[in-house]
Amino acid sequence: MALVYYIIILTFFINMNFKNLAMWAVIVFLTIGLYNMFKNTQGSTSKKQNIIFSEFLSEVENGRVIQVEIQGNNIRGIMANGESFTTYSPNYPNLIEKLSDKGVSISAAPLDEKMPSLFGVLLSWFPMLLLIAVWIFFMRQMQGGKGGAMGFGRSKAKLMDDAKKKVTFDDVAGIDEAKEEVQEIVEFLKSPKKFIRVGGKIPRGALLVGLPGTGKTLLARAIAGESGVPFFTISGSDFVEMFVGVGAARVRDMFEQGKKNAPCIIFIDELDAVGRSRGAGLGGGNDEREQTLNQILVEMDGFETNDGVIILASTNRPDVLDPALLRPGRFDRQIVVPLPDILGREKILKIHSKKVSMGPDVKLKTIAKGTPGFSGADLANLVNEAALLAARNNKRIVTSNEFEDAKDKVMMGAERKSMVMTEEDKKLTAYHESGHAIVALNEKASDPIHKATIMPRGNALGVVWTLPERDRYSHTREYLKANISKAMGGRIAEELIFGYEKVTSGASSDLQTATKLAKDMVTKFGMSNELGPLSYGENEEEVFLGRSITRHQQMSEDTTKKIDVEIKKIVDEGYKKAKKILTEKIDDLHKLAKALLTYETLTGNEIDDLIYKNIYPDNKEGVKVESNDQDSALGSIGLKPKIVH
């Protein structure tokens, strides 16, 4: 018995967990009860023997029974030789007289005189205890195990661990203005006296606004690493779950944690998940989300002050946020995190390429120049893709070729080399893409051609990709019309070469692009002579469920018809201009289509040399074209290629 107790106590201390104390207590009691039960059972069965009633009467007659204990119909007794026995007695008359005559010592006891044992009590309560334990387990699981079964309203804000790798401002590049704005907050937390001395107050909150991938969350992590104060982070979607009132309770608990750890920073990622405009939605909106938002508004600027608690939030949908959330006193600053310019892209590439073994031919400035419109996340993905391509080719360093291939993969999609195309499909694709390229070359306002290919990429059979020479922040009327003409060039080339009935559906995306540009020119940019400098377009960024239903159209039917007429007029002008260019430059169209059929992919410089200098690429390995091969793809369309090296 001592050994059993020792094992139980040792196991308990080894696995001791105060949250599971009740479970261990139940286990200990059950073990002791089972041990006692089996001990008593074994002890009784080893010393006592069960005899039949007739044998018992015979032993009494022979005088071998000296003592009995009668309890109801159960009889226990002792033989003359000291052995114990048990038997069951029917309603036998004159049993007591017979025992008395033989001199047997008789004792009697009432039924069920003993109190129930501890084991019996535990056994009777075991189903109820099991049910309670199962209920607690499922409630903990429902809430992610945090806060226990009664922890619905506990905040899910996570405290940033200092042991993890810190992100500093040195790890953030390309958004210098945004860094300066948040650095002031960090300086206030480190040395508040400098600001208090001149009467300044720390901002209550700062809202980081920018497109996806620009570095809003990374900037918040840098603030956490630089400030040296407790930093709580939570997602906007973590406030609202399946129970009503949980969101507001979690907001209160989050701010209570912040007050206890003041000065501190609370970062709410994707604020638009819980901060959308109230009253927007079918039936007046989402009451639970609005309750959570109301609690956030009260906590940020209510009767109680939250000194030392700074709220940081990020969103890429500032247009749908509630106006009360954006006013000074709650979010005093709206920090715009823009797309990086060419200098910013170069700095970002330097940061992400620190751990990459690059060859001497890699020029980060050149890569930055060729990636306008890329965000920080896009550039990080570009560097990673280049490293993966180098590893796939069993190279130890990343060269400029890998970066170029990675850029093409990111911008145009991965090559579908396994796709089988017929010769007719290749010719159609070659002339389609050549039509785009020739129009782009002859439109002065168009961006330069980066690359043209008939190799299927992504969802397209071929791609002509143009890149601006510098970052564009606005577009002229001339530029927009040039892009419309360029978009129509592919369809016109198919019609000129193969006929009206051979026009394919490959121009569907081009038509969408041209129509959208024309519509924006008429309704948003005021570039229509007929309608004048007026804006007729709705702000599509603000449209979401509920708000779009309650919005009224502010245009008459006549105005709508005029808009449709103007859009068609602009697209038709682009169509006519592209057709005129391709008709006059039909020889260039044939020349470029022939080169694409031969080489499949041409860069912008190679296209310029081909069209203007009649110089064919000399860096394409293993390409041989016979001028007299009438069965080839070139010969079938009546072309006689002549490659000049």
For strand 84-88 and strand 205-209, is the pairing parallel, antiparallel, or unpaired? unpaired
Q: Rounded to whole angstroms, how far apart are CA atoms 427 and 468?
A: 28
Q: Rounded to whole angstroms, how far apart are CA atoms 34 and 39?
A: 8
What are the distances in angstroms from CA 314 to CA 267, 301, 310, 318? 8, 19, 14, 9
Burial class (CB in 10 A: 0-12, 13-18, 19+), 315: buried
* Angle formed at CA 595 by CA 592 and CA 600, multiple of 5 degrees: 115
Q: Rounded to whole angstroms, how far apart are CA atoms 370 and 393?
A: 24
What are the distances in angstroms from CA 116 to CA 35, 40, 43, 174? 17, 15, 20, 78
- 433: annotated active-site residue: yes
Q: Rounded to whole angstroms, how far apart are CA atoms 344 and 515?
A: 33
Q: Rounded to whole angstroms, how far apart are CA atoms 109 and 94?
A: 18
Secondary structure tally for the chain: helices H, strands E: 23, 14
* Distance, CA of 578 to chain centre: 44
What are the distances in angstroms from CA 263 to CA 170, 185, 230, 334? 24, 12, 7, 21
End-to-end CA distance of the chain: give it in Å, rounded. 99
CA nearest to 298, candidates 272, 330, 262, 269: 330
What are the distances in angstroms from CA 630 to CA 101, 477, 499, 522, 625? 136, 46, 22, 50, 11
Element spanning 487, H or E: helix 477-498
Interhelix angle for 376-392 vs 400-412, to 10°? 120
- The amino acid present at 62, given as its one-letter code, is N
Q: DSSP per residue over 170-230, as a string?
A: GG--S-HHHHHHHHHHHHHHH-THHHHTTT----SEEEEE--TTSSHHHHHHHHHHHH-S-
The residue from 181, 270, 299, 433 that is catalytic is 433
Active-site residues: which are they?
A: 433
